[in-house]
Structure 1
Amino acid sequence: MDDTTNNAPRRRPGRRRKSGVVQPEHALPRKAPVGGRLRPLSMHDIAQIHSASLEILDKTGISEAPSVVVRAISERGGRQTDDGRITFPIELVTKALAGLRNDVTLYGRTPDRDLDLSNAQVHAGSGGASPYVVDAQDGSYRSATLADLYDAARLVDTLENVQFFSRAMVAGDMPSTHSMDVNTAFASLAGTSKHVMVSASEPAHVRDIAQMCYFIAGSEQAFRDRPFLSLNINHVVPPLRFDAGACEIMAEAVRCGLPVMVNTFGQMGASSPVTIAGCLAQTNAETLAGMVFAWVLDPDVRAIYGARPMVTDLRSGGMAGGGGEQAILTAASTQIARYYGLPNSTIAGATDSKLADAQSGYEKALSVTMAAQAGTNLITQAAGTQAGLMATSFEAYVIDNDMLGAILQSAAPIEVSAATLSTDIIAETVRGEGHFLGLPDTYARMKSDFVYPAHADRQAPDAWLANGAPTINAAARKTVSDTLAGHFPRYIPADIEQEIRARFDIRLPAARMQTI
C-alpha cells in the first residue's frame, strides 16, 4: 500500500462492474500512467489538515443549506446552529469516507475509452466552460457558439492524449439555460465517444440530459451500468456556503444514475485563507461536505472528489492559474484525495496566456506535470484553455496534445528487471558493433517505450531551415483545419438522433454534422 494512505480511514471495497471486450476503434497507445510519487505534504501535515477540516465541518459548519441537504444530514446526526449553519459530525464524515466507492470507472462509448480511476491512474482532458473561442483564422476572441462546442468535441475525439471531453465552452447562442444544457450534452455526445462531462442549471435539465443518455445507451439500465456522461457540480460558494440550486442538481443527478464531480473553487487569499495550509483545510472541508451529501443520498454513488483550490493574484484580485503557487497547491490537494483513497479530479493547465505561446507552454507544463506526478485521476482543463479559462483555442488543443503525451509518459513507472538492466546486451554490444541502434531490442522498444510528438519539431537546424522553418503553431493550425474538414463521426445512430430531435429542441443543424 502507498504510504500516503496508511493512516486514512478504512474503506469498503467498491463493486466493480465488468464489461465484455470489444475490438477498439480508437485504442489508446498505452495504459494510463500511475502517478503519486510527488508528495509535497508529509503524513503529519496531512493529518493536521484532515483534523482541521473535520473541525470546520463539525464546529463551524456550512451556511445556506437547502432543505434537501438539511434533511439528509440531520437524519445522520447533523444539526443546525443558532445562526443557521448545518454541521457535519466527525462520526458521519468518517463513516462516509469509509463507505464511498474507490473503484469508480468513467465509461466511454466503447471499452477502449474507459477511464479507470482506481489508485493513482492519471487521465488528462479538456474543460473550462469558457465564454470565448480564439478564432482560428485571425487569433481574435469571439463569443463561443454551439457549433464551436461540437467542433471542439470532434477535434478532441481525434487527440489520443486528451482522454475525456469536459465541456470546453459555453454556447452563447442558445436562447435559454435549458436549451444550452440539453444542446451542450447533445453536441458533446455527437462529437466524441470519449467520456463527456457537462453541467446543468436546474434539476429538470438533469432529467432531460439523463433521458437523452438513456436513448443513446439503449435503455436506462444500460446507461446506469456504463454511464458515459457525468455532471460537473459546484455545490458550494466559498467560503463555506452551499449553493442551493447546485445541491438540488446533485440530488437529481444521483437519482438519475449520473456520476457527479463534487467540485470546489476557493481562491487563495480571496474566498479562502491566504496560506496554502488554510486554503487546503477549508477547500477539503467544502469538498468533503459534498462527498458526504452524495454518499448519504446513495452509498453506491459514483462521486469524484474535485477540490480545485485556485490562486489569486493579490495585485489585481484576478485568478493566477499559471504560477508555481498554483502548481504546488494543486499537487497538495491531490495528495489529500489520495490520503482518503478517493477518485479525484482537479484543474491544471489554467494558463494566464491569451494565445498558444511560450508562456502558455511553460505554465501548462508546470501545473499539469505536477498534477500527474501527484497522481490526479482526472486532470481537467489540461488542453485547449487560455486566458485563465476565459477562452478556448483549437490550435492549443493540438499543441497541448503533444505536451500531454510527454507529461503522461514522464509519469509512467520505470521498469527495473533483468530484461531492462540489459547486462547481457551491454556485454555483447561493447565487444561488437559498439552501439545499440541496430539491435532488435532497440527497434522493438522504439515503438513501445517512446512517445513521438506529432507537431513539435525535432529536425536538425539545417533541415528545419531547408523545410521553411516551420513552427508548431502553423503545424497545429493545419491539423485543426484538416480534422474539422473531414472528421464527422456518427456516434448517435440516425434513428436515435431523430428521436432525440423530436423530443428536444436540438439547435445543431443535421447538415452541420456531415462533411460538406
Structure 2
Amino acid sequence: MSPSQSRPGKSRRRGRGSPRQSARTGPDPTRLRLKNPYPPIEEFSADQIETIHQTSLTILRDKGIKVLNHEARALYREAGAEVDDNDLVVRFDPDLIINQVEHAPERFTLRGRGEQRWFEVGGDSLAFATVGGPPHYSDIEGGRRAGTQATFDDLLRLAQVYDVIHLTAPLVEPQDLPIHLRHLHMTRSVVEITDKPAFIYSRGKSAVADALEILRMGHAMDRDTFEASPHCYTVVNANSPLQLDELMCDGIIDFARAGQVMILTPFTLAGAMAPVTLPGALAQQNAEALAGITLSQIVRPGAPVVYGGFTSNVDMKSGAPAFGTPEYVKAAFASGQLARRYCLPYRSSNVNASNAPDAQSAYESQMSCWGAIMGGCDILLHGAGWLEGGLTASLEKFIIDVEMLQMFAALMQPVEFNEDTLGLSAINEIEPGGHFFGTQHTLARYETAFYTPLVSDWSNFETWQETGGMDATVRANRIARKALAEFEPPQLAEECREAIDDFVIRRTEQGDADLQS
C-alpha cells in the first residue's frame, strides 16, 4: 500500500463509527433554516381534494359547529354567520368561509430573540419543534413520573442546545407548580433558557396576557412593536366532532388580536371522534379547521395562522389512539394538500404510541415524520421527546429524535455537483481492486463528506462490547446528561430579567389568572 493510499490515522478520527458524545457549540447553519427540496406526495387527486373542500363547506352550512364562547358567537354573527344561541351552533354561508380564509397569509416570519432564530413559515420551509404538553416525564434513572419545573427546564435546555430544534413547545407539565401560576414560571423559563420562538398555552385570557407580557419584556420591545410581528405561537384544538370550546375560542381571538401565530388543529381520530373512513375524517377535520381560521380572520384580517392536521386512527379493539400508522401517513399527505388548497402553512407531527423509547417508538416516529415531511409540512410539532401517545416526555427519546431530525436536515441539503465532485481524477488515480481511503480527493473531504451521527454507533460488535455494549437508549441518556452539564444559556439583559422577575412576583401575589387545565 502506497503512502497516498494509506487510511487516515486514528488520531484524526473518533474511532470507527463511534457517535459524537458532545453537543455542537455554536449554531450549525445547515440546520438553522431548512428548505424541503422534495415535491410533496399527493394522496388524492385535485378533484378529490375539491370534493373534500365542498363537503366541509356543506357541513358548516347545514350542520354547523357548536361554539361555546359567547364572544366568538358574537363575532361570527357580526360577520354574517347564522348563530343559534339556544343550541350554540354557528352555521356559515360558504362564501363567508372562503372570503375570510383568503385573508390569511401564505407565509410569514416567526421571530426568536436573535435574527439567527428567525425563520420563515410557509412555502418550502421546514421547522421542527419539541414535544408539547405531556403530564409525565421519563428517563432511565427515575422511570415515568409527574413532570416538574426542573424536568421542564432540562428539556428546554436541550431544545436550546440542538440547532435542528427551531421552536419550543410546552415540553412537559410542571405539576409541582399550582396551575394558576404555572404559566408565569414556564414562560419565564422559556425567556431565560432559550432564544427560540416560544409557545404559549391558550388557557384563559389573563394567562395569555401574562405570558405575552413576559415574552415582550424578554424581547425588550414595546407592545406595538411586539405585536407588529409574530414572536410566539399557540395550538388550538377543536373538540372533535364539531365543537369549539370556551378557552380555544379565547385563544383564537387573543392571538389574532396580538398578531401572534395560531395553529388550528382538529383532533380527529377516525373511528372515534371522526368517521372511520379517511375521506370522511378529513372532511370533518377540514370543516373544523376552516371554522377556527375564519374566526381568526374576522378578528384581524391577515393574522398569521397555520393549518394543522392530526387525523389518525384508533385501535378498534380497545379504542386507544394509534400513531405512525399507514392511515396517519395518508392523512398527513392529504392534510398537506388541503392546506395548499387554501394557500396556508401546514403543521404536522412526529408521534408514536409506544410506552418506551424502543423500536416501536422509532419506527412509528419515522413513519410519522415521512408522512409529515413528504406531505409538505412547514412546522413539525412534537418533533423530539413524544412517547406514550403524548402522555410522556422522554429524555432519551428526545435525543433519539434529535438524531432523526438531524438526519432529515442533512437529507434536505443540496448535493454539490460539479467536475470536482464527480471524482474522475480520483477514479483515474486508483488501480482496479484498490481503495479510495488515501486519495487526495478523500483526504480533503473525509471529515465532512457524510453525516456524523449523534447517537448511532457504527462500530463492530467487538468494539461495541468492549466500550460497554450500550444500546441507543443508554447512549442517548449519556448524551443528554453531558449536554445538560455543559449548558450555557443565551444572553438576556439584566434589566429584562429583573423586569420579568418583578412581574412574576406581582402576578403571583395577585393570583387572579383565569387559568384552566
TM-score strictly above 0.5:
yes
Structure 1 counterpart of 2:127:
123
1:106-145 maps to which residues of 2 (within 5 A)? 106-138=110-142, 140-145=143-148
Q: What's the counterpart of residue 17 of structure 1?
A: none
- Measured in 2, the distance between the counterparts of 1:403 and 1:506 equals 43
Give the residue type in structure 2 aligned to 1:76. Answer: A
Shift of 1:419: 5.0
**1:33-432, aligned counterparts within 5 Å?**
33-34=35-36, 35-80=38-83, 83-138=87-142, 140-177=143-180, 179-219=181-221, 220-234=223-237, 236-348=238-350, 350-411=351-412, 419=419, 422=422, 425-426=423-424, 428-432=425-429
Give 1:329's aligned amino acid. A
Q: Which residue of 1 aligns with 2:456?
A: 456
Q: Which amino acid aligns with 1:432?
A: E
For 1:256 and 1:206, the matched residues in 2 are separated by: 10
Structure (1 or 2) with the larger CA radius of gyration: 2
> Counterpart amino acid of 2:169?
S
- What letter is aligned with 2:378? N
Shift of 1:442: 5.5
Q: Is the 8 A contact 1:305 1:344 kept in 2?
A: yes
Once residues 340 and 52 of structure 2 are traced to their aligned partners in structure 1, the CA distance between those partners, rounded to angstroms, is 13
Counterparts of 1:113 and 1:168, CA distance in 2 = 19
Superposition pairs of residues 469-488 of structure 1, within 5 angstroms = 469-488=469-488
Distance between the aligned counterparts of 1:430 and 1:441, measured in 2? 10
> Offset at 1:59?
2.0
Tell whether the 8 Å contact from 1:214 to 1:222 is kept in structure 2 after alignment: no
Asked if structure 2 preserves the Cα contact closer than 8 Å seen for 1:239 and 1:272, the reply is yes
Distance 1:329 1:54 in 2: 19
The amino acid across from 1:38 in the alignment is: I
Name the aligned partner's letter for residue 477 of structure 1: N
Please identify, of 198-207 and 245-254, the stretch whose mean Cα deviation from structure 2 is larger: 245-254
SS at match of 2:348: strand
Structure 1 pair 314–413 and aligned structure 2 pair: CA distance change class (3 A): farther
User: Whole-Å Cα distance in 1 between the matches of residues 136 and 114 of structure 2?
Assistant: 31
Higher alpha-carbon deviation: 247-256 or 443-452: 443-452
Which structure ranks higher in relative contact order (CA pairs < 8 Å, sequence separation ≥ 6)? Answer: 2
Q: Distance in 2 between matches of 1:459 and 1:506?
A: 56
- Give aligned-pair identity as a percent: 24
CA distance in 1, matches of 2:289, 2:210: 27
SS in 2 for 1:273: coil
SS in 1 for 2:66: coil
Is contact 2:426–2:441 with CA below 8 Å preserved after alignment?
Answer: no
Q: Would the alpha carbon gap of residues 312 and 360 (structure 1) be closer, same or farther in structure 2, given more than 3 Å must change?
A: same
Q: Residues 208 and 84 from structure 1, CA distance in 2 versus in 1: closer, same or farther, beyond 3 angstroms?
A: closer
Q: 1:184 to 1:456 in 2, by over 3 A?
A: same
Deviation at 1:272, TM superposition (A): 0.7
- Give the C-alpha shift of residue 399 in structure 1: 1.3
Alpha carbon RMSD of aligned pairs, Å? 2.6
Alpha-carbon distance between aligned partners in 1 of 2:144 and 2:231, rounded to the nearest angstrom: 31
- Structure 1 CA distance for aligned equivalents of residues 428 and 139 of structure 2: 58
Distance in 1, Cα, partners of 2:42 & 2:478: 40
Alignment check: 8 A CA contact 2:202 2:247 kept: no
Q: Which residue of 2 aligns with 1:465?
A: 465
* Inter-partner Cα distance in structure 2 for 1:414 and 1:85: 53
Aligned residues of 2:202 and 2:250 also touching (Cα < 8 A) = no
What amino acid does structure 1 have at the position aligned with 2:480? Answer: V
Give the total of aligned pairs: 477
Gaps of 5+ in 2: 1-24, 509-517
> CA separation in 1, counterparts of 2:87 and 2:177?
40
TM-score with structure 2 setting the length: 0.85
* Structure 1 stretches of at least 4 aligned residues deviating more than 4 Å after TM superposition: 81-84, 411-415, 417-421, 434-449
The Cα shift of 1:420 comes to 8.4
The letter for the 1-side match of 2:332 is: T
> What is the SS of the residue equivalent to 1:69?
helix
Deviations 1:61-93 (A, max 9, x none): 111343322222223321125854211221122
Alpha-carbon distance between aligned partners in 1 of 2:456 and 2:50, rounded to the nearest angstrom = 43
**SS at 2:203's partner residue?**
coil
Secondary structure at 2:459's aligned position in 1? coil
Deviation track 1:219-266 (CA, whole Å, cap 9, x = no partner) reads 2234234433222222x2111112122212321222223222222212
* Worse-matched range after superposition: 330-339 or 438-447: 438-447
**Is the contact between residue 149 and residue 188 of structure 1 (CA under 8 Å) also seen in structure 2?**
no
1:358 maps to a residue whose letter is A
Which letter does structure 2 place at the counterpart of 1:256? A
Q: CA 1:257–1:449 in structure 2 vs 1: closer, same or farther (change >3 Å)?
A: farther
Q: Closer, same or farther in 2 for the Cα pair 1:450/1:42, shift >3 Å?
A: farther
Match of 2:430 in 1: 433
Shift of 1:414: 6.1
Q: What is the 5 A alignment of 1:484-495?
A: 484-495=484-495
Tell me, what secondary structure is at the counterpart of 2:390? coil
Q: What is the letter of the counterpart of residue 184 of structure 1?
A: M
Change (3 A) 1:324 1:433: same
**Given the superposition, is the C-alpha separation of residues 294 and 474 from structure 1 closer, same or farther in structure 2, using an over 3 Å criterion?**
same
Compute the displacement of 1:52 (Å).
0.9
**In structure 1, what is the Cα distance between the partners aligned to 2:54 and 2:420?**
44
Separation in 2, partners of 1:185, 1:439: 53
Aligned match of 1:497: 497
